[in-house]
Every structure is written in structure tokens, then in C-alpha cells.
Amino acid sequence: MKNQFLEYLEIERNRAPKTVENYGRHLEKFLAWAKIRSASQIDDSLIRNFRLYLNRLQDEKGQGLKKATQNYYIIVVRSFLKYLAKRDIKTLQAEKVEIGRTPEREVEFLEEHEVTQILEAASGLSFQALRDRSIMELLFSAGLRVSELVSINREKLNFKSRELSVRGKGGKIRVVFVSQTAATSLKKYLETRTDVDPALFIRDVQGLKKLNAAKNNDDLRLTPRSIQRIVKQYALKAGIVKNVHPHTLRHSFATDLIMNGADIRSVQEMLGHSSITTTQIYTHVTNPHLKEVHQAFHARRRKSSKID
């Protein structure tokens, strides 16, 4: 039944391959723990005991599972129960399985001057410097996920309109916008390219040749892990003490938009969030800033009134 469920996710629900893989892995762990012979054995008591098991599970360092990870297991089980119900297989109703509350996520973002410091740290005219600056400019300019960034092919770039189509989570395609500074950086970077690899961001071909490590063109595309190392490298070089990673630039993009008056629905669309609830986390981040704006505005009003 597990295999049929995963096929259902892939074909009928059109889930991304990675999502199907993750669901399969988590469901397999649940079934291995449950040791049930039929779906009818899944009941309230089994789910409650599985929650206790997840909550008490510890790794070799004595660290437990994060609440978000525990909830992911329950989400997968609920999805499996819904599938069973569609197939008229007797089991626990999915609606009876509640998702636990998770603590509010803390979003770390960069101030404007910190973004500038990181970008300036990638100064220079070498292939690597121009590529790395382009990567960070595009991450911040378009609010991309790192998985979206590495999958871009250079033929997709439209410098005239400064727009770009990317495929996000769940295979959803959205249009993102490239700032003028990001477009300028990308043009300078692409002028250094002499290869025919379709990927927008690739490894240093000349550097690989010097190391006698050049492989075929299929291996030139940068990986998400490579992008993470690049961003962290320049954050350290710029003297930023925060734990900076590619998603930090995405957070900074969203926070910058909201602080400058963008409405939450527009930000949701630009980030490619399927739910507005996900985007609303940035309103918590900007609340202190909005309070400062409110106080400053009223301070001016009071001062003006006294003068009148």
C-alpha cells in the first residue's frame, strides 16, 4: 500500500520527486515502528504512542527531534490516511490526527549595510569574483531559494525585461524580477564564459583545468552546497557575525520589501509561498520596525502641533 500511495503522490498529486522521496522515507519509518499488518490497526492510541516515541527520540548526542520534524512525520501519516480513505480502506480518519503547534520561527535577516558589505566583499574582475557577486546579487534581488538558483539555465535570462521564470516547490513556476545592479553583475560574469554549458552558474573551468580535474560539461553546474559555501565565505570576509546562508538573503529580500511598504500578498507571490501563513512570519520580524516608524511619525506630529 505504501508504494501505491507514493505513486498517487507522484502521478495524481503531481508532487516533486524530492517530496515523494521524503514522504516515502518518513512513512517507512512510521510503518517500521508501528509493525502493523493492516491499515485498520491504525487508531488514536497508535498515533498517540507514535507522538510519544518521536518526542522522546534522541540521537547519539542526546538531542531530540525538532518539533517541526516531529510534525512532518504526522503530516505524512495524515496524508497516508487521507489516501486510504479515498480508496475506501477502513482506517483512522485523518481529521482526528492533529498537527502539534510549533514555536514561531526566528528569521534572521541582513540590514541594508550588511548586504552591501557582503556584495562588496566579492569585488574583483576574476571569473570567480564576478560569478560569486552575481550569485548573491540574484539571491537578494529575486528572493530565490538556493534550489531555484542552481537550476537556472542562462538562456532563460531576459536582460531586456529583467524577468526570469523559475520552478519552485511542487513544480510551480513563477516569474521573478532582476534588479538593475544584479543584471549588470550577471552581464559582466557571463562575458567571462567561454564554455557551452547551459547552466547559469558553473564551476571555474580554467581553475579545474589547472588542477587537472576538469570533467564533462554535465558536471559543471554548481550545487546547493557550493552556493552555501560561497555565501558563508563572503559573509565571513565582510566581517558579518550572523550565521549567513543563502536563505538569509531570501529572508532579507522579503523583509526589505515589507519594510518599504509592499503588501503581504505581493510578497507571498514573489516568494512563491503556497500559503499566506508562511509569508506572515515576516510581519513579526518587521513589527519592531513599524513601531519605530509609528513613534517617529507621531513625534513629528506632536512637535508640529506645538509650533502651531
Instruction: Give helix then strand counts, H and E, for the chain.
Output: 14, 2
Whether 221 is a known active-site residue: answer no
Single out the residue of 289, 268, 285, 288 nearest to residue 105, CA to CA: 285
Query: Among residues 26, 145, 203, 221, which one is catalytic?
Result: 145
Query: Among residues 82, 169, 193, 245, which one is catalytic?
Result: 169
CA distance 99 to 96: 10
> How remote is the C-alpha of 234 from its chain's centroid?
20
Is 254:248 a contact under the CB 8 Å cutoff? no
Query: Among residues 78, 131, 250, 251, which one is catalytic?
Result: 250
Whether 250 is a known active-site residue: answer yes
Query: Among residues 23, 73, 83, 282, which one is catalytic?
Result: 282
The secondary structure of 234-300 as a DSSP string is HHHHTT--S---HHHHHHHHHHHHHHTT--HHHHHHHHT-SSHHHHTHHHHHHHHHHHHHHHHHHHH
Write the CA distances from 189 to 31, 126, 149, 215, integer angstroms. Answer: 50, 9, 15, 21
**Residue 23: count of CB within 10 angstroms of its CB:** 22
Whether 169 is a known active-site residue: answer yes
CA distance 210 to 187: 25
Beta strands in 149-191 (DSSP E): 163-167, 173-177
Whether 273 is a known active-site residue: answer yes
Query: Among residues 78, 203, 247, 251, which one is catalytic?
Result: 247
**Residue 112: count of CB within 10 angstroms of its CB:** 10
Contacts (Cβ under 8 Å, ≥6 apart) of 100: 51, 67, 70, 71, 74
Whether 13 is a known active-site residue: answer no
Single out the residue of 124, 122, 128 nearest to residue 202, CA to CA: 128
Whether 282 is a known active-site residue: answer yes
CA distance 216 to 150: 18
Q: Annotated catalytic sites, by residue?
A: 145, 169, 247, 250, 273, 282
